[in-house]
Amino acid sequence: MSPLRPFACLVLAAAALFAVPAPAAHAQAPIDLLTASREQGKIALVAAIGRLKALEAASLSGLISDPFVRMVQQPTIDIVNEWLRVSFDADSSTFHYALRVAMQRMQQNLSAYSQISYTPDEPGCQGDSNYAFAYVGRPDLGVHGCHAVVAYKGPVCRSEVLNHEFFHIVGVNHGEAGGLPVPTNFYARTMAHALDHADHLLGLASTLAYGSASACNGSN
């Protein structure tokens, strides 16, 4: 048996440990639903960071060259490549930079505090497509939850919405920081856009934690 196989088995065990089950729905007051969703979002972020750390360790140690380890890590590699607009190379400083920045942003999100409130009458909450809003880099102004995300969406979607808004709270834009042009159709084309894009960082975290980033397309 290859001496690398025990490590690979540990990686598989870690992946199972970090898997995040969908939260159960309960009848609660809107503010309680939003608060619970923030906590569920934190669990997803922890799971995502765990997978990124495992990939980073396998890559920097050279273990990624083992076919079994590479097979185990390939799903994470594919998700990172998609959402951060990079191409995996174990020796690439660019890829590892993207990993480090993404993990830093997620850790900042985890540690951030901003008052969550339910404000269905705020102008930013009007319409069924507005789920929540916050101001970039302004935790003092709070995170505002809207009627639509409470009335029409489920716990997974709400957790994603809260994670998205908390990325804004810690200073993440939609890809336009530092004079970058706003990405076409709101999706990043470059790594620089993606690392400053709340949708892309959320997509990365949710896909790593839940297997997809499309909960808000349905009623989940």
| Mean pLDDT along residues 73-100 | 94
How large is the greatest C-alpha to C-alpha distance in the chain, in angstroms?
63
> Where in the chain are the domains?
5-217
Tens of pLDDT, residue by residue over 39-72, are 999 999 999 999 999 999 999 999 999 999 999 9
* pLDDT band (50, 70, 90) for residue 134: very high
Q: Does the pLDDT of residue 204 top 50, yes or no?
A: yes
Give the mean pLDDT of 1-5.
Answer: 55
How far is residue 21's CA from residue 4's CA, in Å, rounded to a whole number? 29
Distance CA 149, CA 104 (A): 27
Q: Report the mean per-residue pLDDT for the chain.
A: 88
CATH code for the part of the protein at 5-217: 3.40.390
Report whether 200 contacts 183 (CB < 8 A): no
Q: Return the pLDDT at 10.
A: 52
